[in-house]
Chains A and B, each alone.
Chain A
Amino acid sequence: MTQQSLWQFVSEQHEKLLVQITQHLGLTFLSLLLAIIVGLPLGILIARKRKLSGSVLGVAGILQTIPSIALLGFMIPAFGIGATPAIVALLIYALLPIIRNTYTGITGVNPAVIEAAKAMGMNRKQLLFKVELPLAMPVIIAGIRTAAVINVGVATLASFVAAGGLGEFIFGGISLNNTNMILAGAIPAALLAILLDKLIAVFQKIKYQNLRKFWYIIPVIFVIIGSGYWLTSSSENKLKAGFTPEFMGRQDGDLGLRSVYGLNVNPKVVNDAIMYKAAYEGELDLISGYSTDGRIKAFDLYVLEDDKKIFPPYFAAPIIKTKTLQKFPELEKTLDLLAGKFNDSIMTDLNYKSDYQNLTPEKIAKDFLIKNKLYKNPQNSNGATIRIGSKIFGEQYILTEIYKMLIEGYTHYRVETKTGLGGTKICFDALMNDAIDFYPEYTGTGLLVLLKPDEKTISEVSKSAESTYDYVNSEFQKQYGIQWLQPLGFNNSYALMMRKKQSKQLKIETISDLKHYLNSN
């Protein structure tokens, strides 16, 4: 069943898949080529001047340990978004194996052979090219192999910075609870890694003399495959748009923009953690986002009016298994203390404190509870443990912290938080598998990402926030044995936003205005 529908997905999306594979290979090869251009001479240098080897290998080693997402984050201020930061980040990951293997390969050449070469009257250049490099070549190529496999893996993260690649499917699939989409990205990525590894292994076995014939062809191959990247990702538009993978696949997202507004902005796929900043810095002009996001205020963005109502408002509420509520009898009434305590501007303000003023979620949560006279000092906790989950963005961290303090203040339960779960699918699977007990979810996500009813039902139930809540709550109880507790009081919906200044300049206030602007000339 799954296999068949995976096949269906692939055949439906084969154009996109091909583009992503081409981009993926392009990123991998370009970065690998650059890494060889940088790494090989560095490796040769430190093999000559061994005193430098400690520091050079040390620095390359430290770069290697930087988590890939963090590294991509560092790249944005320097290189913006798109291919450049992705290639630079990949280059950095590929450096260590190439430098180290070049160094090991050259220093591992039998000293008697080197002495013989010197005694024959070879100069340093002849020694390097005729003796040292040829003899070190198998080890050097082994390093390039390692680097290639690392790069195929890390290149999936390129989609975070709008550089495309198979990560678009993988992370889109995680956000959209679409296993086929994940597999359509992950399987080709794995195959690419294996294929590349085997292909380079062939070169490892070729004798250097024969390899010399390929010597000039190899960079050409690299450049050709690399340039495939630009052929596939050239999208000319007056406005540069970047949407999250989840937005790309939702009816109240890019799909709605296309079908209801007839708006196709050629969006790039980008991670929401960096999207706002990229918009602020002018790397992107149009982004998707959440209406309560604190960064709207922080980065002076303007939310376009949704004049055809494709972004219906949705409640946020904790979702929890009925079974779990029975296990923790005091829990429901404690969580319901928060019901209606929020509205949109309160939530936006809390997010602003986190996103812009850099206050910790703990501090924001405590201030909020004190202000609402709900704060109580933690009681002695001796009961069972409740595990709260959250997705990986600020609002959810704050809510989780508020719940934690509330439960600790009003009950004897212990609380454990599992924050930063990658996306809707990961959070929901964790809940279903009892890895967490509850997490805050949005009714729209419940409807469109998790339940996925037919279009008629969607348009019917999403007429108001209340009807969506009722539908989602009853369906979840039926299908999953999960309840939606009382809504917190704020609405979260998707929104399209631009820099305030630019929207004023172009006189774009509504999404229809945007379409007019894009269609004119």
Chain B
Amino acid sequence: MITVESVSKHFGGRPAVDDISFHANDKEILVLLGTSGCGKTTTLKMINRLIEADSGNIFIDGKNIRDQKVETLRMGIGFVMQNSGLFPNYTIKENIATVPKLLKWNKNKTERRTEELLSKLNLSTDILSRFPNELSGGQQQRVGIARALIANSPILLMDEPFGALDNITKADIHSEFKSLEELKNKTIILVTHDVQEAFELGHRICLMDKGKIIQTGTPKEMLYHHKNGFVKEFFASNRLLLEYKITVLKDLFPFLSDFEIDFPEDSTVWNILQKLSSDQQRTDEYEKIVKAFNDYRKLQIA
């Protein structure tokens, strides 16, 4: 568990992060969402002390991060950054082995773990001897994730990890990311400005603006129980899409009768409708789902 307690940071007299508090539960993906300059990256970097907070405290599992050696703290926290941040002078193998080397792992252990991660991340072992500039953006990002995961640290900080990828690659990595067992027992804080990404990956979302947290909550809460106009306005342009995406089949059960279900119950409405709309034979089912969704929605916003 990561607890942030009234932390502030000023740059040149201007507040970048202004007295914010939040916490991330164990095994939870918490998304820090906001526009550029809202202070989300600063907040993230204060957790592994790449940026030192001016005031306030941050605790990891109850331990103040200031009480340990900064290198030890960082070795225990995986960090993934936007442009992969791979060392251009190291091969992929050396890049992935950076932290094990600092931790003085033996060669075999490092190699076994590297191979394990590569197969989980759908990377071929051929790339190990290559240099970062010889890889595609998506591959580089996967290597960046492998590097952050290798030491099995329970915490992962991700700074716009998929921000530099094209939409198709991004969608692929998103689905891999969600299905990756490795991540299911980690506490992850992910920074993004991409609203869809936040809703797709986040268990909870912290919406930030001008160095403050405006609202924290589950995706559903963000949409149906917005705290103020800012929150409502923020999601307005994506709203319908987001609603389709956060609603799963299970939610619609009460509104669906005599319906043959051949989708898993945690499929999103969006995915079901995508599939049904591409099949002309199933317009009936499509309409039923839409109707059920509308009924469900009425109750949510009421």
Identify the A interface with B (CB < 8 A). 110, 112-113, 115-123, 126, 130-131, 134-135, 207-209
Contact = CB atoms under 8 A, between A and B. Distances in A.
Interface of B: 48, 50, 71-77, 79, 81-83, 85-89, 98-99, 102, 147
Contacts of A113: 85-88
B81 A115 contact: yes
A118 B88 contact: no
Closest 9 CB pairs of A and B: A116-B85, A121-B75, A119-B79, A121-B74, A121-B71, A134-B89, A120-B98, A112-B85, A123-B71
Contacts of B85: 112-113, 115-116, 119
Given A135-B88, A208-B89, A118 B50 contact: yes
Contacts of B74: 118-121
A114 B64 CA distance: 25
Contacts of B72: 121
A114 to B, nearest CB: 9
Given A134-B89, A135-B89, A119 B81 contact: yes
A121 B86 contact: no
Given A118-B74, A207-B89, 8 more contacts: A116-B85, A116-B87, A119-B81, A119-B85, A120-B147, A121-B74, A121-B99, A135-B88
A436 B74 CA distance: 75
Contacts of A126: 102
A112 B102 contact: no
B48 A119 contact: yes
A120 B99 contact: yes
B89 A122 contact: no
A119 B153 CA distance: 13
Contacts of B99: 120-121
B102 A115 contact: no
A292 B81 CA distance: 79
Contacts of A116: 79, 81, 85-87
Nearest to B157: A119
Give the one of B83, B98, B147 with max A CB within 10 A. Answer: B98
B91 to A, nearest CB: 9
A110 B86 CA distance: 11
Nearest to A131: B87
A133 to B, nearest CB: 10
Contacts of A115: 50, 81, 85
A138 B98 CA distance: 22
B81 A122 contact: no
Contacts of A208: 89
A216 to B, nearest CB: 20
A266 B232 CA distance: 95
